[in-house]
Amino acid sequence: MKKIILLLSLSIFAFSCIQKQERIITSKKLSKEEKIDSTNIKTLFNSVLVEGESYEWLRDLTQNIGGRLSGSKEAAKAVIWGEKLMKSVGLDSVWLQPVMVPHWVRGEKEVANYSLDGKKKNVPICALGFSVATSKKGVSAEIIEVKSLEEAKALGEKMKGKIVFFNRPFDNTLINTFAAYGGCVGQRVRGAAVCGEFGAKGVIVRSMTNGVDDYPHTGTMSYGDLPKEKYIPTAAISSRAANILSADLKTNPKLTFYFKQNCETLPDAPSFNVIGQITGSETPENIMVVGGHLDSWDLAEGAHDDGTGIVQSLEVAALFKKNNIKPKNTLRVVFFMNEENGTRGAKKYAELAKLNKENHIGGLESDAGGHTPRGFSIDANIANTKLLQSWKKLLSPYGLHDIDEGGSGADISPLKGENVTLVGYRPDSQRYFDYHHTTIDTFDKVNKRELELGSASMASIIYLMDKYLYNNTPIKL
């Protein structure tokens, strides 16, 4: 047996040390109340890792309904799916909240190309949400490359009759990829508004991604207050095609670029936020929201954006039910409609909350993908921010180290107020923009354990917020 022990000694060495660490985690010095919290948090994690349901819910949503852009028949199916699913987990009440949403349709697959040295190069593009169509024949014009809105504005009249190509790449040195996105997304959202003003014929925008790939990444844009007659068509180009086009423009600065799309904005369509709740056991008039968005772009299954947020939010409530943890305040799960192009669901929800004098004390949003948990960002008053940060010792054993000031999310931020504690769930961001708004944002990119750890992370902070914000926040009616 000695030989076995010798062989094992090296390879097993690391694991015994890890097991020791797991023991250390649970034996940290905690107050009596913190020990109760620590035990309840462990219960939530154990529960989800053994009997979690969110992964199968996500499979169903992404694979049986798929892409579900606001106003589409798939979005309507997703509403029915959401309502049925909420009812199945035994919430105290479930209802639909009507909201009118934009209804933009992509139409036929887009086409783009240009010729260099007599050789035609096809280019992967996709129309941006809210863009107008080109004429039926498409748009053909000289293409000028710029790296920013400022550089485009400086061109002024020189862009008249031309296509403007925004090609600012992500700053890959930013560790948080959302920061890199924030530094580039302006060209996607406002490029066509800026260039339409000066009479450009179209706008092509480098896809929002860290990598070099062949997928055009769609997303929303806005013409702002540009007069309708100045609207010009705009599309995203894949990052690899953007690199090639840029190189080709160095060889031939007078390249003629062609693209065609027949997208269209139809009249607003009726839709719904899907809402369900567990009524609070002590102060049901105080409401804590947990949610994500039910709509997605049309190109893919909307797995990481934001199927994961939806199923994690419902799993928070399901974990409370299964483990017999009764929230003191009302715990409300909201599947918001239309985050991608309009946030109409978020606005309607906040508008009605105000109208009905509902007292929201807190909210948690999951809309940054379903990857391995890293922490939360907090948008709250100073006292509550410090309170949430004091929970680090309870949360760090689960990889939740980053508990920082920051924004919460597009769907809950309209609820902002002095005594409302808003939180954004922050999973690891490295892979997120590989898939974001593309055809490959699919179910197989989601890891079951990472998704479930996210659900339990969210359930844990909701458990703590429910317990401690309860005493901390004055009731305002």
Q: Which is closer to a second copy, CB of 176 or CB of 265?
A: 176
Q: How far apart are CA 474 and CA 168, in angstroms?
A: 47
Q: Which is closer to a second copy, CB of 240 or CB of 328?
A: 240
Smallest gap from residue 136 Cβ to a second copy (A): 29
Among 37, 301, 428, 441, indicate the residue that binds a second copy (CB under 8 A): 428
- DSSP single-letter state for residue 273: E
Smallest gap from residue 4 Cβ to a second copy (A): 4
Ramachandran area for residue 64 (φ above 0: left; ψ -120 to 50: alpha; else beta): alpha
Smallest gap from residue 428 Cβ to a second copy (A): 5
Decide if residue 140 touches a second copy (CB under 8 A).
Answer: no
The two three-digit tokens of residue 276, written as one number? 């369900």
Decide if residue 44 touches a second copy (CB under 8 A).
Answer: no
Contacting range for a second copy; rule: CB under 8 A; set: 13-21, 66-74, 135-143, 466-474: 13-21
Give residues 276-315 in contact with a second copy (rule: CB under 8 A). none
Contacting range for a second copy; rule: CB under 8 A; set: 233-241, 305-313, 321-329, 448-456: 448-456
Contacting range for a second copy; rule: CB under 8 A; set: 21-29, 251-259, 279-287, 297-305: 21-29
Q: Which is closer to a second copy, CB of 257 or CB of 398?
A: 398
Which parts of 239-282 are beta strand (E)?
256-260, 264-278
Contacting range for a second copy; rule: CB under 8 A; set: 103-111, 321-329, 372-380, 459-467: 372-380
The H helix count followed by the E strand count for the chain is: 14, 16
Give residues 61-90 in contact with a second copy (rule: CB under 8 A). none
Smallest gap from residue 28 Cβ to a second copy (A): 12
Q: Which is closer to a second copy, CB of 280 or CB of 309?
A: 309
Decide if residue 14 touches a second copy (CB under 8 A).
Answer: yes
Instruction: Give residue for tokens 């992509």.
Output: 106
Among 33, 351, 404, 444, indicate the residue that binds a second copy (CB under 8 A): 404
Q: Which element (helix H / strand E) includes 336?
A: strand 329-336
Among 142, 410, 417, 440, indicate the residue that binds a second copy (CB under 8 A): 410
Contacting range for a second copy; rule: CB under 8 A; set: 231-239, 282-290, 380-388, 390-398: 390-398
Q: Which is closer to a second copy, CB of 83 or CB of 339?
A: 339
The one-letter amino acid at 148: S
Q: Which is closer to a second copy, CB of 65 or CB of 423?
A: 423
Pick the closest to residue 230 from 160, 156, 148, 167 (CA basis): 160
Give residues 213-232 in contact with a second copy (rule: CB under 8 A). 220, 222, 224-225
Quick count: other Cβ atoms within 10 Å of Cβ 194? 23
Which parts of 279-409 are beta strand (E)?
283-293, 329-336, 359-365, 373-379, 402-405
Q: Which element (helix H / strand E) includes 457?
A: helix 448-472
Neighbouring residues of 364: CB distance < 8 A, sequence distance ≥ 6:
288, 289, 290, 291, 313, 316, 376, 408, 412, 422, 423, 424, 425, 458, 461, 462, 465
Give residues 162-191 in contact with a second copy (rule: CB under 8 A). 172-179, 181-183, 185-186, 189-190
Among 273, 408, 442, 460, indicate the residue that binds a second copy (CB under 8 A): 408
Sign of CA dihedral 113, 115, 121, 123: negative
Q: Is 191 in contact with 208 (CB distance < 8 Å)?
A: no
Give residues 331-360 in contact with a second copy (rule: CB under 8 A). 343, 346
Contacting range for a second copy; rule: CB under 8 A; set: 1-9, 112-120, 251-259, 465-473: 1-9
Quick count: other Cβ atoms within 10 Å of Cβ 62? 26
Decide if residue 265 touches a second copy (CB under 8 A).
Answer: no
Binding mask 86-125 for a second copy (x = CB under 8 A): ----------------------------------------
Pick the closest to residue 391 from 305, 310, 329, 460 (CA basis): 460
* Alpha-helical segments (H) within 114-184: 149-155, 177-182
Residue 328, judged by CB atoms within 10 A of its CB (0-12, 13-18, 19+), counts as middle
Among 363, 409, 421, 463, indicate the residue that binds a second copy (CB under 8 A): 409
Q: Which is closer to a second copy, CB of 11 or CB of 31?
A: 11
- DSSP single-letter state for residue 413: G
Q: Which is closer to a second copy, CB of 149 or CB of 465?
A: 149
Give residues 195-214 in contact with a second copy (rule: CB under 8 A). 210-211
Decide if residue 12 touches a second copy (CB under 8 A).
Answer: yes
Q: Which is closer to a second copy, CB of 220 or CB of 329?
A: 220
Contacting range for a second copy; rule: CB under 8 A; set: 102-110, 233-241, 291-299, 410-418: 410-418
Neighbouring residues of 154: CB distance < 8 A, sequence distance ≥ 6:
none
The two three-digit tokens of residue 258, written as one number? 């062609």
Smallest gap from residue 48 Cβ to a second copy (A): 9
The two three-digit tokens of residue 198, written as one number? 């000066």
Length of the chain: 477
Q: How far apart are CA 70 and CA 252, in angstroms?
A: 41
